[in-house]
Amino acid sequence: MGESSQVGLYERPAAPDGIIVERMRDDHLPGVLRIEQESYSTPWSREGFTKELENFPTTVAIVARRERVVVGYVVAWFVTEEAHIGNVAVAREARQQGIGRVMLEWLLERAVAHGCTCATLEVRESNLAARRLYERLSFRSVGRRRAYYMKPSEDAIVMVRELA
C-alpha cells in the first residue's frame, strides 16, 4: 500500500511541474522570508525560522522549490500523536498551482510515518483560500478561538484531520 493511500487522501494529482519538496535548510531562508513578508501582516522573523530549524525533529519544516527558487513552505510540530501545522505559505506568483496541497500531502505522509494520529491547525476565519485548501485535504472545522489573531483582530477556526 502506498503512503498516500495509507492516509486516505483524496485522489492524488501529480505534483505541479518541476516542483521539489524537501526539508527546509538555512540557505532556503532568504526565499522563505520573502514569501513570509508578502503573506502575513505579522511575519515570523529570520530568528524565528532559525530556532525552528534547530528544533528538529519536533519541528518539521519543508520547502517547495522550482529549480533553486523557493516557492512555498510549511512549518509543523510533531508532538506525541499530534501534527500541528503552524505556518503554510506559497509565493504570490505561484499560488493556485497545487503547491500548497502537495506540501501538505508530503507533511501528512511524514506525520503518519511518525505515528501521529491527527493533524491540527488554526486559520483566520476570513482566509477562504486556506480554508478551501484544508477542506480539500479532509480537514474539518471543530472550534473557534476568539480574537486569536492580531492586525487585524480576528477569530481563528480550529481544524482537525484524523490520520488513522
Ligand X SMILES: CC(C)(COP(=O)(O)OP(=O)(O)OC[C@H]1O[C@@H](n2cnc3c(N)ncnc32)[C@H](O)[C@@H]1OP(=O)(O)O)[C@@H](O)C(=O)NCCC(=O)NCCS
Binding site for ligand X (CB under 6 A): 39, 88-90, 95-101, 123, 127-130, 132-133, 136
Which of 34, 95 has the CB closer to ligand X?
95
Q: Taking each helix axis as running N to C, give the angle between helix 29-39 and helix 46-54, from 0 to 180 degrees, rounded to the nearest 10.
A: 130
Q: Please, what is the minimum distance in Å from the beta carbon of residue 161 to ligand X?
A: 14
Q: Please, what is the minimum distance in Å from the beta carbon of residue 58 to ligand X?
A: 20
Q: How many CB atoms lie within 10 A of CB 31?
A: 19
Which of 31, 100 has the CB closer to ligand X?
100
What are the cell numbers at 43?
511575519
Residues 6+ apart with CB under 8 A from 47: none
Q: Please, what is the minimum distance in Å from the beta carbon of residue 90 to ligand X?
A: 4
Q: Please tell me what DSSP assigns to residue 67.
A: T
Per the DSSP assignment, residues forming a β-bridge with 121 are 85, 159
Which of 130, 160 has the CB closer to ligand X?
130
Q: Please, what is the minimum distance in Å from the beta carbon of residue 122 to ligand X?
A: 7
